Chains A and B, each alone.
Chain A
Amino acid sequence: MPIEVRLAWRNLWRQPKRTLLTTGAMVFSNVLLVFMISLQVGMYGLMIENGLKVFTGHLQVQAPGYIDDAKMRLVVPDAVALAGKLRDVDGISAAARGSTFALASSEDRTYGMAVMGVEPDHEPDVSSLPGLIGAGRYLDAADAAEIVIGKRLARNLKVDVGDELTLLGSGLDGSFAATVVTIAGLFETGIPDIDRGIGALPIGHFQDVFYMGDAAHMIVAVAPSLEAVPAAVAAVESQLPADGELVVHDWDALVPELRQSINADLGGALFMYGVLVVLVAFSVLNTQLMSVLERTREFGIVMALGLKPGRLGRLVLLEAALMGLIGVFAGAFLGGLLTLYFSVNGFTYPGLEEMAAQFNLPGRLHPEVTLLSLFAGPLVVFAFTLLATAYPAFRLRRLKPVEAMRAA
Chain B
Amino acid sequence: MSTTLTVSAALAWRNLWRNHRRTLIMLSAISVGTWAMIFLTALTQGMVTDMVRQGLAVLPGHAQAHHPAFRDDPNIVNLLPIPDSELESRLVGGDFVAWSTRINVPAFVASERETRGVTLLGIDPARERDFTFVELDTIDGRFLETADDTGVVIGRKLAETLETRVGKRIVVMSQSPDNEVADRGFRVVGVFRAELPSQEEDYVFVGKATVQKLLGVPDRVTEAVVFGNDFRNPEPVLGQLEGFVSADGVTAQSWKDLDVYLSTTLAAMDGFVLVWVIVIFLALSFGLVNTLLMAVFERIREIGVMLALGVKPAAILLQIVLESMLLLGIGLLIGNLLAFASVELISDGIDISMVADGMEMMGATSRLVPDLRMQDVVLANGVVLLLGFFASLSPAWRASRYEPVEAITTVQ
Q: Quick one: given A29-B283, A103-B173, A355-B261, are A257 and B357 in contact (CB under 8 Å)?
A: yes
- Taking a contact as CB atoms under 8 Å apart, the answer to whether A263 and B355 are in contact is yes
Which residues of A in the span 161-191 have a Cβ within 8 Å of any Cβ on B?
168-170, 174
Contact partner, A256, options B32, B112, B294, B357, Cβ 8 Å: B357
- Taking a contact as CB atoms under 8 Å apart, the answer to whether B268 and A351 are in contact is yes
A373 to chain B, nearest CB (A): 18
* Closest residue of B by beta carbon distance from A71: B114
A367 to chain B, nearest CB (A): 17
Report the bound CA distance from A358 to B282 in whole Å: 32
* Closest residue of A by beta carbon distance from B182: A110
Report the bound CA distance from A168 to B361 in whole Å: 31
Is A341 in contact with chain B by the CB < 8 A criterion? no
* Closest residue of A by beta carbon distance from B120: A112
Is A156 in contact with chain B by the CB < 8 A criterion? yes
- Taking a contact as CB atoms under 8 Å apart, the answer to whether B112 and A354 are in contact is no
Q: Quick one: given A110-B174, A260-B357, are A287 and B106 in contact (CB under 8 Å)?
A: no
Report the bound CA distance from A277 to B77 in whole Å: 60
Report the bound CA distance from A90 to B362 in whole Å: 37
* Closest residue of B by beta carbon distance from A152: B72
Contact partner, B358, options A100, A260, A275, Cβ 8 Å: A260
A141 to chain B, nearest CB (A): 27
Report the bound CA distance from A145 to B36 in whole Å: 61
Contact partner, B286, options A108, A174, A283, Cβ 8 Å: A283
- Taking a contact as CB atoms under 8 Å apart, the answer to whether A355 and B268 are in contact is yes
- Taking a contact as CB atoms under 8 Å apart, the answer to whether A24 and B108 are in contact is no
- Taking a contact as CB atoms under 8 Å apart, the answer to whether B290 and A278 are in contact is no
Contact partner, A110, options B74, B179, B358, Cβ 8 Å: B179
Interface core residue of A22, A113, A155, A283 (most chain B CB under 10 Å)? A283
Chain B residues lying within 8 Å of A260, measured Cβ to Cβ, are 354-359, 361
* Closest residue of B by beta carbon distance from A47: B361
- Taking a contact as CB atoms under 8 Å apart, the answer to whether A22 and B290 are in contact is yes
- Taking a contact as CB atoms under 8 Å apart, the answer to whether B33 and A279 are in contact is yes
Chain A residues lying within 8 Å of B8, measured Cβ to Cβ, are none
Is A111 in contact with chain B by the CB < 8 A criterion? yes
- Taking a contact as CB atoms under 8 Å apart, the answer to whether A359 and B361 are in contact is yes
- Taking a contact as CB atoms under 8 Å apart, the answer to whether A358 and B293 are in contact is no
- Taking a contact as CB atoms under 8 Å apart, the answer to whether B161 and A170 are in contact is no
- Contact indicator per residue, chain B 326-364, by CB within 8 Å of chain A (1) or not (0): 000000000000000000000000001011111111110
Report the bound CA distance from A261 to B357 in whole Å: 7
Contact partner, B261, options A259, A264, A357, Cβ 8 Å: A357
Is B291 in contact with chain A by the CB < 8 A criterion? yes
- Taking a contact as CB atoms under 8 Å apart, the answer to whether A170 and B115 are in contact is yes
Q: Quick one: given A107-B179, A110-B181, are A290 and B22 in contact (CB under 8 Å)?
A: yes
Q: Quick one: given A32-B279, A103-B108, are A289 and B22 in contact (CB under 8 Å)?
A: yes
Which residues of A in the span 256-305 have a Cβ within 8 Å of any Cβ on B?
256-264, 267-268, 271-272, 275-276, 278-280, 282-283, 285-287, 289-290, 293-294
Chain B residues lying within 8 Å of A357, measured Cβ to Cβ, are 261
Is A337 in contact with chain B by the CB < 8 A criterion? no
Is A109 in contact with chain B by the CB < 8 A criterion? yes
Interface core residue of B74, B279, B286 (most chain A CB under 10 Å)? B286
Interface of B (DSSP majority class): helix
A95 to chain B, nearest CB (A): 24
Chain B residues lying within 8 Å of A70, measured Cβ to Cβ, are 161
- Contact indicator per residue, chain A 1-41, by CB within 8 Å of chain B (1) or not (0): 00000000000000101100110110011001000000000
- Contact indicator per residue, chain B 309-328, by CB within 8 Å of chain A (1) or not (0): 00000000000000000000
Of B23-31, B217-225, B244-252, B372-380, the one contacting chain A is: B23-31
B92 to chain A, nearest CB (A): 34
Is B386 in contact with chain A by the CB < 8 A criterion? no
Is A105 in contact with chain B by the CB < 8 A criterion? yes
Is A114 in contact with chain B by the CB < 8 A criterion? yes
Q: Quick one: given A268-B40, A282-B25, are A197 and B117 in contact (CB under 8 Å)?
A: yes
Chain B residues lying within 8 Å of A28, measured Cβ to Cβ, are 282-283, 286
Chain A residues lying within 8 Å of B43, measured Cβ to Cβ, are 268
* Closest residue of B by beta carbon distance from A353: B264
Chain B residues lying within 8 Å of A110, measured Cβ to Cβ, are 174-175, 179, 181
* Closest residue of B by beta carbon distance from A73: B113
Is A101 in contact with chain B by the CB < 8 A criterion? yes
A12 to chain B, nearest CB (A): 14
- Taking a contact as CB atoms under 8 Å apart, the answer to whether A112 and B107 are in contact is yes
* Closest residue of B by beta carbon distance from A286: B25
Is A72 in contact with chain B by the CB < 8 A criterion? yes
Chain B residues lying within 8 Å of A272, measured Cβ to Cβ, are 36, 40, 276
Which residues of B in the span 268-301 have a Cβ within 8 Å of any Cβ on A?
268, 271, 276, 279-280, 282-284, 286-287, 289-291, 293-294, 297-298
- Taking a contact as CB atoms under 8 Å apart, the answer to whether A101 and B356 are in contact is no
Which residues of A in the span 239-259 have a Cβ within 8 Å of any Cβ on B?
256-259
Is A350 in contact with chain B by the CB < 8 A criterion? yes
- Taking a contact as CB atoms under 8 Å apart, the answer to whether A71 and B362 are in contact is no
- Taking a contact as CB atoms under 8 Å apart, the answer to whether A72 and B286 are in contact is no
Chain A residues lying within 8 Å of B118, measured Cβ to Cβ, are 112
Report the bound CA distance from A32 to B352 in whole Å: 27
- Taking a contact as CB atoms under 8 Å apart, the answer to whether B358 and A261 are in contact is yes
Interface core residue of B116, B175, B284, B355 (most chain A CB under 10 Å)? B355
Contact partner, A283, options B75, B260, B287, Cβ 8 Å: B287
Chain A residues lying within 8 Å of B267, measured Cβ to Cβ, are 350-351
Is B385 in contact with chain A by the CB < 8 A criterion? no
- Taking a contact as CB atoms under 8 Å apart, the answer to whether A275 and B290 are in contact is no
B357 to chain A, nearest CB (A): 4
Report the bound CA distance from A207 to B291 in whole Å: 77
Is B110 in contact with chain A by the CB < 8 A criterion? yes
Report the bound CA distance from A289 to B19 in whole Å: 11
- Taking a contact as CB atoms under 8 Å apart, the answer to whether B283 and A103 are in contact is no
Chain A residues lying within 8 Å of B110, measured Cβ to Cβ, are 170
- Taking a contact as CB atoms under 8 Å apart, the answer to whether B161 and A69 are in contact is yes
Chain A residues lying within 8 Å of B32, measured Cβ to Cβ, are 275, 278-279, 282
Report the bound CA distance from A276 to B74 in whole Å: 49
- Contact indicator per residue, chain B 152-187, by CB within 8 Å of chain A (1) or not (0): 000000001101000000000111000101000000
* Closest residue of A by beta carbon distance from B117: A112
Report the bound CA distance from A6 to B174 in whole Å: 84
- Taking a contact as CB atoms under 8 Å apart, the answer to whether B358 and A257 are in contact is yes
- Taking a contact as CB atoms under 8 Å apart, the answer to whether A114 and B261 are in contact is no
- Taking a contact as CB atoms under 8 Å apart, the answer to whether A271 and B40 are in contact is yes
Q: Quick one: given A286-B26, A358-B362, are A275 and B280 in contact (CB under 8 Å)?
A: yes
List 11 additional contacts besides A261-B357, A353-B264; criterion CB under 8 Å: A21-B287, A71-B161, A156-B74, A156-B75, A174-B113, A258-B361, A286-B26, A349-B271, A350-B268, A350-B271, A351-B267
Nearest 7 CB-CB pairings of A with B: A260-B358, A112-B117, A261-B358, A25-B286, A351-B268, A282-B29, A257-B357
